[in-house]
Structure 1
């Protein structure tokens, strides 16, 4: 029996999905990040019950942090994206969290910059607030050890290809880190939207893209580029088509990042059939019904979609591009020519002050 709904909700369903991939379908994947971080902060005395935790969110992390704060008797304040819908706003209000949303914007860069500027202002006005820094504080890696342990138990032994949104870096990057530390052979494939700076696609815009949770207009310190072996960039239309195809093939109703990850997983399975492919569906599809799922009649069939395989970011193009990482021509590291992997994600690092993010 769980002591709080947060512990029950975080558990994913492990589902086999045609044509042979395994999907970890979460209701709110970032509960792992939020619960792990909050427990660590309480255990180390950095925060105490009654303190206020504050952060920026496009929606998923807002819900996760509100539940974690409710679980541990903390206050929660969210600076939200315009993608935070009425259903989530009402839940946050009842949970005792406070939410303020930045002014409407269809531009990922402007939306995230506005949220970061507001966080900086809040911390100047309320220096006792604890900024969670989901984008920059590696404490958010900790909770994902449980996901890695679940994969080790549920997925047959052998080499893995792990596919999912890069986002803040503390999901796919963390799970791959803990699996590798346990000795598992893992190829990590990250999914990005066009326009994201994280892997250098800011010059290829996608005005319709609304899945801000898997991309960024600002550098995220939690993203460790050396962890990734491949990157896929998927635009809004193809992410929508992938989400529709996933629902038709498996009954899994998930967000657009899951649709993009499903396309990437199908492609990676074709490229290497010797590895088990596991992909993440990080949230449900409810907030994308009007903007994406309502267009299901126009969805492209999955067999008709294939990426442009490119050698560098300069060749990226819509609707879908894929590239080995590091890209061709990148400076080689010592040893085998690959960037060296840090032994543990919680290595010492200098975190930015709010004014400098």
Structure 2
């Protein structure tokens, strides 16, 4: 399956009469349905090359699901065991997928606790690695994380024939956004880089609080990893769970394209920021995964309502924004994106 990694398609979400556009790189077309398999492959190869990972070895990693799915698949292919340290905040389908690929699951929270436990997961994964001599991948501080996304930058250039003018993408570990950026810089391109995280994440400014967007941001109490490259970042923006999920549901309802929650946050930021960009600009978002993994959460009215996240009026406004941009009309004021970090500060 690993030979199918990469060469994911670009999808044009919006193009204005002034030829400014928003493109989505649909990483759900990778094996395991996520961009994270790129960095899983890169981290495993790096561990093999420096002899940390040897024949019949065991990999351990803290994961909210997508990284774990990638590691589970590649461990199978390469003859390793894989231990996934998880919490019950993770999407159930992701957990079941890892089990189906023979991963050993280690929970840091009980079944009734669906809160995000990133710090506890990472601490336990590191402890297991030391205790058993397993290879802890430590994705947030692993240089091979970002390097795994270099091919994605090459694909973007090949498909567009030029560099995007803006990249607006979610920031979790930071690997996808800053890996693509590093590679573009190596090739002489300098797009404007805008990172997007959930309200409640601390990478672009406190205070932190709980949030529901999965696999993105840095929760309060967790350490911001070295893969988050502020030196490569121009702006950091925050988007609420309600707005991010409304964007996912809007695109799904009107276009039949299901996006994961982290991509929803980046999409709504792109839709709000696009009117301020020059004519002819090309903004690109890395879509980490598809919405098929979130049918029981983001796309489930009951789950959304129970958590106060369902906002049909906002969904309608987002679609009005899309149609206004396409028609060249005055954009709708969504007030959903807050720029909280800037290199200019």
Q: TM-score, normalised by structure 2?
A: 0.82
Shift of 1:211: 1.8
CA–CA separation in structure 2 for the residues paired with 1:149 and 1:196: 30
Distance 2:263 2:214 in 1: 13
Mapped to 2, the partners of 1:297 and 1:55 lie a distance apart of 35
Shift of 1:246: 2.3
Q: Is the 8 A contact 1:10 1:31 kept in 2?
A: no
Paired residue total = 307
Pick closer, same or farther for the CA change 1:98–1:158 going to 2, 3 Å: closer
Task: Tell me, yes or no, if the aligned pair for 1:163 and 1:265 is still in contact at 8 Å.
Answer: yes
Tell me, yes or no, if structure 1 residue 264 matches structure 2 residue 265: no
Which 4+ stretches in 1 moved above 4 angstroms? 104-107
- The 5 Å alignment of 1:223-302 reads 223-272=228-277, 273-295=279-301, 298=312, 300=314, 301-302=317-318
- What is the match of residue 56 of structure 1? 62
Query: Contact conserved, 2:203 with 2:217, CA < 8 A, in 1?
Result: yes
Structure 2 distance, partners of 1:66, 1:153, is 30
The Cα of 1:249 is off from its aligned counterpart by 4.7
**Whole-Å Cα distance in 2 between the matches of residues 159 and 6 of structure 1?**
27
Q: Find the counterpart in structure 2 of residue 172 from structure 1.
A: 177
> Is 1:103 aligned with 2:117?
no
For 2:339, the equivalent position in structure 1 comes to 322
Contact 2:205 2:340 (8 Å CA) reproduced: no
Structure 1 residues 276 and 156: CA distance shift in structure 2, 3 A? farther
Find the residue that maps to 1:24 and give its secondary structure.
strand
Match of 2:283, SS state, is strand
Mapped to 1, the partners of 2:105 and 2:218 lie a distance apart of 21
- Deviation of residue 287 (structure 1)? 3.2
Structure 1 CA distance for aligned equivalents of residues 7 and 147 of structure 2: 16
Is residue 24–residue 286 contact of structure 2 (8 Å, CA) maintained in 1? Answer: yes
Going by fraction, where is helix more abundant, 1 or 2? 2
What TM-score do you get using the length of structure 1 for normalisation? 0.80
- Alpha-carbon distance in 1 for matches of 2:121, 2:157: 37
CA distance in 1 between counterparts of 2:205 and 2:273 reads 21
Q: 1:135 & 1:326 partners in 2: Cα distance? A: 22
Q: CA deviation at 1:146?
A: 0.6
Larger mean CA deviation between 11-20 and 174-183 belongs to: 11-20
**SS state at 2:12 partner:** strand
Question: 1:24 corresponds to which residue?
Answer: 25
Gapped regions of structure 2 (runs ≥ 5): 16-20, 29-33, 302-309, 322-331
* Distance (whole Å) between structure 1 residues aligned to residue 7 and residue 69 of structure 2: 15
**CA distance change for structure 1 residues 306 and 226 in 2, over 3 Å: closer, same or farther?**
farther
1:6 to 2, 11, 18: 2
How far has the Cα of 1:239 moved from its partner? 0.5
Check whether the contact 2:91–2:294 (CA below 8 A) recurs between aligned residues: no
Matched, 1:66 2:72: yes
Counterpart of 1:200 in structure 2 is: 205
Q: Retained in 2: the 8 A contact 1:198–1:220?
A: no
C-alpha separation in 2, matches of 1:7 and 1:248: 33
Is 2:204–2:237's contact at 8 Å kept on the other side of the alignment? no
- Alignment partner of 1:162 is 2:190: no
**Number of the residue aligned with 2:195:** 190
